[in-house]
Chain A
Amino acid sequence: MTGPLGRPFALPKEPVSCVLVGEGYAAAPLFPLAERLRERGCTVTLVVAGPDEAHLLSALEARRSARAVTVVTEDGSVGRRGLVADVIAEVLTKAAAEVVYAAGPVPTLHAVAAAAEAHGAWSQTALERPLTCATGLCHGCAVPVVGEAGISRTARACVDGPVLRGDRVRWTDLRTDLSAEPEAAR
């Protein structure tokens, strides 16, 4: 047994307003994150999303751990109908967000990172990539990023992530790379 591996969500030093966005099962780690943030005096706003009600993590639990909760489903079976991308700008504005945490599929993370940047907030995105070794040895889980001094480089999701700053990830390159993957590997 080896762990913990990689870099987790970084917690703010100051009690700031945080928006947490989770889609599908990837929303699970946001509930304990919300607890940590509240212990630090942060205001927590949650966005929980999924394709439909059956694939949504507990909205009830979400309501316990956050001041405000927005539920979004693609089919509109519960909450608002649509995608995270449709609601995120409005949520960030309403919450006066300073930090945004997100976990979910790459297009959702991309939308959240872009909205955070437009809003002037920091974003932290948890990427889900297929990990072969999970210890940084194999270079299988490459993520194109912009490094220090603006130089493009390739990070590893397992040791440099899985949480990466949303403004560091080269989302367009990552999505191009992923579009070549067979469906099962996505």
Chain B
Amino acid sequence: MTDLAGLRLASPVLVASGCGGTGRELAAYGPLAELGGFVTRTLTLNARPGGPQPRILETPSGLVHAVGLQNPGLEGFLATELPWLAQQGARIIVSIAGSSLGEYAELARRLGGSPGVSAIEVNLSSPDAPTTGVFDVREPFHAASVVAAVHRDLPRGVPVLAKLRADVVRVVESARTVLDAGAAAVVVGNALPAAMPDGRQAGLSGPAILPVALRCVADLRAELPDAEVVGVGGITTAEDARSFLAAGATAVQIGTALLHDPTTAARVAAELRDGVPLHTGTSTSTD
């Protein structure tokens, strides 16, 4: 059991936003309830069709992606996805982004009152934010105003997780600001800002960014020892997850690895739970 932001989780391993489909696709490879949580892809108030092709390309040890926040919108999610997720007994954390503070507040109000929603993860670090029209939160001051707006409109007991960029230079300042504004924990980090070969704004994810995210977690532990931190970035094995936990993360999220092997989250969760020694079992950590 893992305690995060006042929630008791079945495992310290969660599914990262945008890498678990609607949940149904991932559930084919293992029960979602056995994971620490399922973070939805980022929802916006209105449905978004997403960006043009190509959306995702492989890079050495990673993926560069510009999906453009494709999602069914709040109504579509509440009608077609949330009830099914809740039935699975999964700990549901809804990722949100808005084009204004008012949109963030409305998302918080509607989702906070929906049965089955355990927490809200505010996506403050969409790597292609300027092209997707979401509220620009590059400055910690703006991030704080978003977190405050969401926190104010959520019922007690539904914590706000703030997802930050793995920007080693600014992550401590950003985390301090959003925690002061009401975030119960910080999630670090989102995809690093990158570009598609044609120059479009994109994010870089996967094992390529793991050491950067790990450095952010370690810096947060050193500078803000009381902060609850969720580590995310390129985790593919239980050994990777242990590195983040040892650096001070309370929990970890697994993202890009699921696109290569959809059993990764279940496998890492089982390995952490059962304490299988490193380099044994079904782990691919010796790859």
Contacts and interface: CB of A to CB of B under 8 A. Distances in A.
Contact of B262 (A135, A139, A140): A135
B165 to A, nearest CB: 20
A154 interface: yes
B41 A139 contact: yes
Contacts of B47: 153
Interface in A131-186: 132-133, 135-140, 142, 144, 152-154, 159, 177-178, 180-182, 185
Given A132-B63, A140-B65, A154 B258 contact: no
A153 B259 CA distance: 23
A137 B262 contact: yes
B156 interface: no
A2 B262 contact: yes
Given A136-B25, A139-B55, A154 B197 contact: no
B70 A137 contact: no
A29 interface: no
A107 interface: no
B54 interface: yes
A137 B26 contact: yes
B67 A159 contact: no
A135 B22 CA distance: 11
Interface string A103-126: 000000000000000000000000
Contact of B21 (A137, A153, A181): A137
Contacts of A152: 49
**Range class of the B interface residue count:** 20 to 34
Contacts of A136: 21-22, 24-25
A133 B260 contact: yes
**Consensus secondary structure, chain B interface:** loop
B60 interface: no
A181 B198 CA distance: 9
**Consensus secondary structure, chain A interface:** loop
Given A135-B25, A182-B197, A177 B259 contact: no
A154 B49 contact: yes
B6 interface: no
Nearest to A138: B259
A135 B25 CA distance: 7
B9 to A, nearest CB: 21
Interface in B46-76: 47, 49-50, 52-58, 63, 65, 67, 70, 72
Nearest to B76: A153
Contacts of B20: 137
Contacts of B24: 136
B10 to A, nearest CB: 21
Interface string B272-285: 00000000000000
Contact of B50 (A137, A154, A185): A154
Nearest to A130: B54
Given A2-B262, A133-B258, A182-B198, A139 B53 contact: no
B258 A139 contact: no
Given A177-B53, A181-B54, A139 B25 contact: no
Interface of B: 18-22, 24-26, 28, 41, 47, 49-50, 52-58, 63, 65, 67, 70, 72, 197-198, 258-260, 262
